[in-house]
Amino acid sequence: MAEWVCPGCGFRLGLPANWGGKPVACPGCDLVEGHFAALPEPPRPVQEVVAVTDPAPPQTFIPEAVFLKSRDPDPAATRAWEGWLMKPRLTDDLRHLAGCALTPLIYGIAFTLTAILRAPGEDEYGRRTDPGACVWAVIVPVWFMAAWLNRFARRLRRRGAVATTRIDARPPVLLLRAFADDRLPLAGYEIEESPSGIRVSTAGSFEEYLEGRLAKCGPVVACGRPGGWLPPLGAARFWVAHEHWQRVIADLLREAQYVVMILGELDFAASEGREDGLLWEANRVAELARATPGRVVLVVPPLPEQEAERRWESYRRVFPQLPAYRGRETAVRFDRRGRPVVCRTARGVRDKRAYDLTIRVPA
């Protein structure tokens, strides 16, 4: 582990020894340096006389990071999980065509309305007049409505897990989470929903963000909410009957190159008579972390500290190797011996920037 000291704010950052010439981003002041080899040496420590009554200096987290890499296709993969899936109500091709046709229709109508509203008029003397501020009060909602409808069109264009894994032959990345966390927002993460020249963006979900990063490794798949038919934005969905879902997850746990689990709400009370679905998945992931620890990643969702700590402590009952909660945890990876490596952020909030620094996938 090499240490870099930010020349802007003095924040100490731990980096792999083979970091090379890749960019370095300081989580303290967001300074970005382009060449690690050319950075100044860390300053020598200066001896200072500190009075006994002075308070102890605040603790600084040197952030670790989860480094993931893509793996080549596995010719021995059986894809046995496909045989237990439910057939979708609409085929992927039909939904994809509907989504592709809807997007130009939405923006065609928005451009037409904008052109009509912005058309210059004439005053009582026949002089050309430009539209006033009241016209923009109508145009802006039109484009926000178009952005919302385009988000629906993008959901239509999303392919299912089977089609996605056949297009991309690399081993899949299995995303496990609680259904209640499907729409968790992520501060600082926005998606442009409009054509070039018109900036209208919508807030993206935490799952969309994770899928965008993990997709560099391989196709990201997740189990769909029971009763749903339209896949949300994020991981490619598959639907399975209740009596077969454990078999499907078990097959994917064997075939997936990575298993990424978002710390959701575990229901230990239900395990007395019927084991909670997320708790069953957490137990299987804990077994996988003991057998092949390099394939397991736990992610702390962007929640307030009190809620994040409560979920962390509940997962320690399933993963006894996890340390006590210290604050600002973002992700956990496991080394070759199965020991947890906890990633924390020095930022005050779990926003997009915090996850950018702690979950890294080389291009």
27-75 pLDDT, tens digit each? 656 555 544 444 444 444 444 433 334 344 344 444 578 999 999 998 8
Average pLDDT, the chain: 82
98-145 pLDDT, tens digit each? 889 998 999 899 889 888 887 766 666 666 666 667 777 888 888 888
- Predicted confidence at residue 218, as pLDDT, reads 94
3-state secondary structure the chain: CEEEECCCCCCEEEECCCCCCCCEECCCCCCEECCCCCCCCCCCCCCCCCCCCCCCCCCCCCCCCEECCCCCCCCCCCCHHHHHECCCCCCHHHHHHHHHHHHHHHHHHHHHHHHHHCCCEECCCCCEECCCHHHHHHHHHHHHHHHHHHHHHHHHHCCCHHHHHHHCCCCCEEEECCHHHCCCEEEEEEEECCCCCCCCEEEEEHHHHHHHHHCCCCCEEEECCCCCCCCCCCCEEECECHHHHHHHHHHHHHHCCEEEEECCCCCCHHHHCCCCHHHHHHHHHHHHHHHCHHHEEEECCCCCHHHHHHHHHHHCCCCCCCCCCCCCEEEEEECCCCCEEEEECCCCCCCHHHHHHHEECCC
- Predicted confidence at residue 54, as pLDDT, reads 38
- With bands split at pLDDT 50, 70 and 90, how would you rate the model's confidence at 231? confident
* Sequence spans of domains, the chain: 1-43, 73-88+160-185+205-363, 89-120+130-159
